[in-house]
Chain A
């Protein structure tokens, strides 16, 4: 991990890297660097794109994108000696203008993750071929995973407003 850190710092300029004791490496970077950084790490053997996630830091007005990479390991007798870790890459983007370049060209399986984040957070991934709805049937004014989306209020306003059949019947017969 230390070697990789040195190489990364020599190759990229705008990184801050921390290494935790449980083989986790945290890299803070800018959103423009992400694609080239992922490409570089993929060539270094970190071929498994495990997760693409997003955190809504509403107080700071930012989204934090999390890319988690790990390596495919062939388990052998000396598996403990091999250095294996998880790389967590973080990039912050503005909440009002949530746009970022898609990483599908580097990792193919990022596609559904990006689709989901587009749907749940309203982040636009440039270069993504199909940003169509993945999970949801209904349209939401605020994407539901944002922190300012109040689920309970939403439920009361939509499902709670629908009358039961008896109520509707009584209303109908009154008018």
Chain B
């Protein structure tokens, strides 16, 4: 550990602990998942960065949306995201969650993910290489330091707008709102 980080640890231990122990929820949402096994195994070893996959969203604080999001998956993503405890961060892979990417005219994939759940960062490329994933994660550390990775706070604050968007897409969601004061 760097010496000048010690003061940070004293100042805000919770934030620092969060930052260096990303527990990734084990959910293969799209084709970007193919680069996750190389990055968590010996060659790239994501544990150097404190990244480790966990089985259940209730223990996770990082959600990697790996690639395109079809409408059926989006429902599962929203449910998984809402089950994660705060603070939680979302990083989306590739160009598909940004604007649809190469599936811009597909009838079953949504075009931009941040209309439905908050996204803290995007990693470009198809697939992003394991190095790109690590750069994305280290960048997320900086955002956390600067309090800019505030997706979960935005979700709490603007929940009624997110919920309205989700309901507009799915007509009925089938589960109760996460927070109170959910209707517009």
Asked whether any CB of chain A lies closer than 8 Å to the CB of B75, the reply is: yes
Known A-B contacts A138-B71, A168-B164, A169-B158; A152 and B111 likewise in contact (beta carbons under 8 Å): no
Give the residues from 58 to 102 in chain A that come closer than 8 angstroms, CB to CB, to chain B. none
User: Are the CB atoms of A155 and B111 closer together than 8 Å?
Assistant: yes
A137 to B107, CA, bound (A): 11
Across the interface, name the chain A residue whose C-beta is closest to B161: A168
Partner of B112, one of A135, A137, A138, A164: A164
B108-125 vs A, Cβ < 8 Å mask (1 yes, 0 no)? 101110110000000000
User: Are the CB atoms of B165 and A160 closer together than 8 Å?
Assistant: no
How many pairs of A and B residues are in contact by the CB < 8 Å rule?
60
Minimum C-beta distance from A156 to chain B (A): 9
User: Are the CB atoms of A165 and B165 closer together than 8 Å?
Assistant: yes
Known A-B contacts A154-B107, A169-B158, A172-B184; A163 and B115 likewise in contact (beta carbons under 8 Å): yes
Contacts of B107 in A (CB 8 A): 140, 144, 149, 151, 154-155
Contacts of B111 in A (CB 8 A): 155, 159-160
Q: Count of chain A residues with Cβ under 8 Å from any Cβ of B?
A: 22
- Chain B, interface size: which category? 20 to 34
Contacts of A163 in B (CB 8 A): 115, 165
Known A-B contacts A162-B115, A168-B164, A169-B158; A155 and B104 likewise in contact (beta carbons under 8 Å): yes
Contacts of A158 in B (CB 8 A): 169
Minimum C-beta distance from B163 to chain A (A): 11
A137 to B165, CA, bound (A): 17
Known A-B contacts A168-B165, A172-B184; A151 and B115 likewise in contact (beta carbons under 8 Å): no
Asked whether any CB of chain B lies closer than 8 Å to the CB of A10, the reply is: no
Can you name 12 extra interface pairs (CB under 8 A) apart from A155-B111, A168-B161?
A137-B108, A138-B71, A138-B108, A154-B107, A159-B110, A159-B112, A162-B169, A163-B115, A165-B161, A168-B164, A168-B165, A169-B158
Q: What residues make up the interface of A, taking CB atoms closer than 8 Å to B?
A: 135-138, 140, 144, 149, 151-152, 154-155, 158-165, 168-169, 172
Q: What residues make up the interface of B, taking CB atoms closer than 8 Å to A?
A: 70-72, 75, 100, 104-108, 110-112, 114-115, 154, 158, 161-162, 164-165, 168-170, 184
CB-defined A-B contacts under 8 Å, sample of 18:
A135-B72, A136-B108, A137-B70, A138-B71, A138-B170, A155-B104, A155-B105, A158-B169, A159-B111, A159-B112, A161-B168, A162-B165, A163-B115, A164-B114, A164-B115, A165-B158, A169-B158, A169-B161
Across the A-B interface, the 7 shortest Cβ-Cβ residue pairs: A137-B72, A168-B161, A159-B111, A152-B105, A137-B71, A151-B105, A151-B107
